[in-house]
Chains A and B, each alone.
Chain A
Amino acid sequence: MKATVLGVLSGVLVVLLAGLWGGGAASADNGPHMSGQSVTTDSCAGCHRAHTAQAANLLKVSETALCSTCHDGSGATTMVDAGVTTGGGALRAGGFQQARINTQDSNPVGVGVLGGGQTTTSSHSTDGSSQELWGNSTPGSGPGFAGFQLTCISCHDPHGNGNYRILRPAPASEGGATDTTAGVNVPDESPKVYTTTNYFDNGPVIMSGANAGKSWLSSWCAQCHTRYLAPGGSATTALPGEPIFKFRHDTQEAYAPSCVKCHAAHGSNAAVSGYAAQVAWPGGTAVTTATGGSRLLKMDNRGICLKCHPR
């Protein structure tokens, strides 16, 4: 009987100790962004106000300011505005204000990295201003969807979700999602690689199985830029009912160039002039920006075409 009591007491002690140690550990999900229940009760108030919020999503200030509190290099290795890590590596996606893409690289199969940053000529917006999602929606529906308010959390889930770069399954406009698709959960890579030495890269996450060779990121980007996701043969076969995006570069076929092979997701420092600067936006709107609309491309003008099509 006494042995039984001792055994029960010992068992309870072991279980409690195991539970406590386990409970104390934080399950990091891409750094401090937590998924699950390991956040402390104070974590909420650091960013949110329940009744006196000054920005959407009950944030005290805009989340761009919140994100940059760490992602300026003082609290995270990835400096997203500068397009570089604190260790000096160039971010795969470039930066919002600067990028280090060697946009004049003559290497036929590569786009190298500059030693220092250059001001970006095009970037995805992070300030919540209304943006046009070029190619959004169904064939024949116009050039895109206007009024999408793009911020950091439009694409990234600050609470963590286990996806590659904590990408949301579906991008969301500030103040509410406009996309009703089920979403694309891009699987994470292991180990995570945030930098690159060659920007001419299909990206680290490629599908397997029946879709082997296809790009997860192309599928993800195409949730906004719907009609840019084009299967093999789209360059010679017209998209039915579509007057603008009639013939399209293949982006969906296995081992076709993914979106991120030619475009930098955050921003590019490519320069545009000449014919390239006169390429209107889809729908015919003239380019009016001083930079000529480099369209996140990784080479000056349309030099990125020459990487695969040298003649």
Chain B
Amino acid sequence: MTSNAQDYPRHQPPHLGRWLKGAVALLLLFALAWVAFVALQYQQTGKPISEVAGIKNIGPLAKLVQEPPRFTGSVWEVARPLGVAAAPDGSIYVTESAGDRMVKSFDANGQAKASIVTGESALSRSPLYVAVSPSGKVYVSDLERHAVLIFAPDGQAAGQVAPPSSEGWTPGALAFDAAGNLYATDLTPGQHRVVVIDPDGTLLLQIGQEGSAPGQFEFPNGVAVDAQGNIYVSDSGNGRVQAFDKSGHPLFMIGRGTSKGDLGMPRGIAVDNGRKLLYVVDATAHAVNVYDISNAAPKYSFRLGDDMGGESLSYPNGVAVDGNGRILVADKENKRIAIWTN
């Protein structure tokens, strides 16, 4: 005796009424409408579906909330600068990626001071980024040395930051909060992340890992912290900025795209706590995007160094805001620090 599926009567659920079928059809229609909406969103923004939800898009109708600062000059004689930092006394520190590869320092008026060297010869050093602690010490990440080196303002070596992992690290971007905690990105292959280290060298917080999902990073080249402890990270390889609260919980993202305020390749990042502005260098747009961060959602405000203007930038990389609200931009291919003043 053989069985055949066609021999069995079609199953008819006794409790599945007409209303239930209608509800299922309605749900499917809602789902189709949602998919159509997401498809339209993707067509307009070029962002994958995974980046649409939860991301605050900076729309083209964003209101100009502040007057842009004025371009007021440049500090020259820096060889393809990558990083820039401002000290409490107004001094400017710049990392060079070419020539003698030194950390050049200038006073607030742009007059050269003693340079800092992170290795015995240009061959043995590769300074990447620089930050100044609240006490005025200069911290420099060095790709060749795989270390964050500490210097007194006069350039005297003062040790280095202990790596957050026993197997070492490849520190990149640097920033400090008012308490002297160091925020650093780690570019170690396979474990890109952000770490927060207190003045005693204790690892306080670690955010993310290498990857493209929210909360993950690809070559994070910028980190900044605001007065509330919120952390802003330039996730360069993923073309976005990710913001986190002081505990490392995600706040928002500013993504890659074509609308005003969208990003291409974000690099340096800085916060003006007084004006509640976030400065993000977009290296391939040759500009600095400025966002109002006075509310929970960032709002695109204006842009510095528009590539058709008189103060045009060429592959800018680092950015810093000094105590007087001046914006310092490491303008790599123009070999200068470009300065805007509020």
Smallest distance from the beta carbon of B72 to chain A beta carbons, Å? 24
How many cross-chain pairs have Cβ atoms below 8 Å apart between A and B?
Answer: 124
Those of B14-50 within 8 Å (CB) of chain A: 21, 24-25, 28-29, 31-32, 35-36, 38-39, 42, 46-50
* A61 cross-chain contacts in B, Cβ below 8 A: 314-315, 333
* B283 cross-chain contacts in A, Cβ below 8 A: 69
A20-B35, A42-B257, A98-B123 are contacts. A73–B50 as well, Cβ < 8 Å?
Answer: no
Tell yes or no: A209 within 8 A of B by CB. no
* Cβ–Cβ contact B49 & A20, under 8 A: yes
Count of interface residues, chain B, beta-carbon cutoff 8 Å? 54
Identify which of A74-82, A103-111, A170-178, A299-307 touches chain B. A74-82
Cβ-defined partner of B25 (8 Å) among A5, A17, A82? A5
Question: For the complex, what is the distance from the CA of A184 to the CA of B233, rounded to whole Å?
Answer: 42
* Cβ–Cβ contact A86 & B189, under 8 A: yes
Identify which of A114-122, A142-150, A287-295 touches chain B. A114-122
* Cβ–Cβ contact A23 & B315, under 8 A: no
Question: For the complex, what is the distance from the CA of A20 to the CA of B315, rounded to whole Å?
Answer: 34
A2-B21, A87-B170, A118-B123 are contacts. A74–B262 as well, Cβ < 8 Å?
Answer: no
Question: For the complex, what is the distance from the CA of A20 to the CA of B41, rounded to whole Å?
Answer: 11
* A25 cross-chain contacts in B, Cβ below 8 A: 48
| A17: nearest chain-B partner, CB-CB | B35
Those of B147-169 within 8 Å (CB) of chain A: none
A40-B256, A46-B284 are contacts. A85–B172 as well, Cβ < 8 Å?
Answer: no
Tell yes or no: A275 within 8 A of B by CB. no
Tell yes or no: A24 within 8 A of B by CB. yes
Interface string of B170-203 (1 = CB under 8 A from A): 1010000000000000011100000000000000
* Cβ–Cβ contact B32 & A24, under 8 A: no
Question: For the complex, what is the distance from the CA of A277 to the CA of B46, rounded to whole Å?
Answer: 56
* Cβ–Cβ contact B35 & A116, under 8 A: no
A61-B333, A74-B128 are contacts. A6–B265 as well, Cβ < 8 Å?
Answer: no
Smallest distance from the beta carbon of B180 to chain A beta carbons, Å? 26
Count of interface residues, chain A, beta-carbon cutoff 8 Å? 47
Interface string of A24-52 (1 = CB under 8 A from B): 11100000100000001111011100001
Question: Which of B35, B42, B314 has the most chain A CB atoms closer than 10 A to its own CB?
Answer: B35
Smallest distance from the beta carbon of A191 to chain B beta carbons, Å? 13
Question: For the complex, what is the distance from the CA of A52 to the CA of B50, rounded to whole Å?
Answer: 35
* A70 cross-chain contacts in B, Cβ below 8 A: 219
* Cβ–Cβ contact B28 & A119, under 8 A: no
Tell yes or no: A88 within 8 A of B by CB. yes
Identify which of A7-15, A158-166, A224-232, A254-262 touches chain B. A7-15
Tell yes or no: B307 within 8 A of A by CB. yes
* Cβ–Cβ contact B256 & A75, under 8 A: no
Tell yes or no: B264 within 8 A of A by CB. yes
5 contacts between A and B (CB under 8 A): A9-B25, A9-B28, A40-B46, A52-B308, A116-B124
Chain B residues near A (Cβ < 8 Å):
21, 24-25, 28-29, 31-32, 35-36, 38-39, 42, 46-51, 82, 97, 123-124, 126, 128, 143-144, 146, 170, 172, 187-189, 219, 221, 236-237, 256-258, 262, 264-265, 267, 283-286, 307-308, 314-315, 317, 332-333
Lowest 7 A-B CB distances belong to which pairs? A24-B48, A46-B284, A40-B46, A9-B28, A16-B35, A73-B143, A42-B258
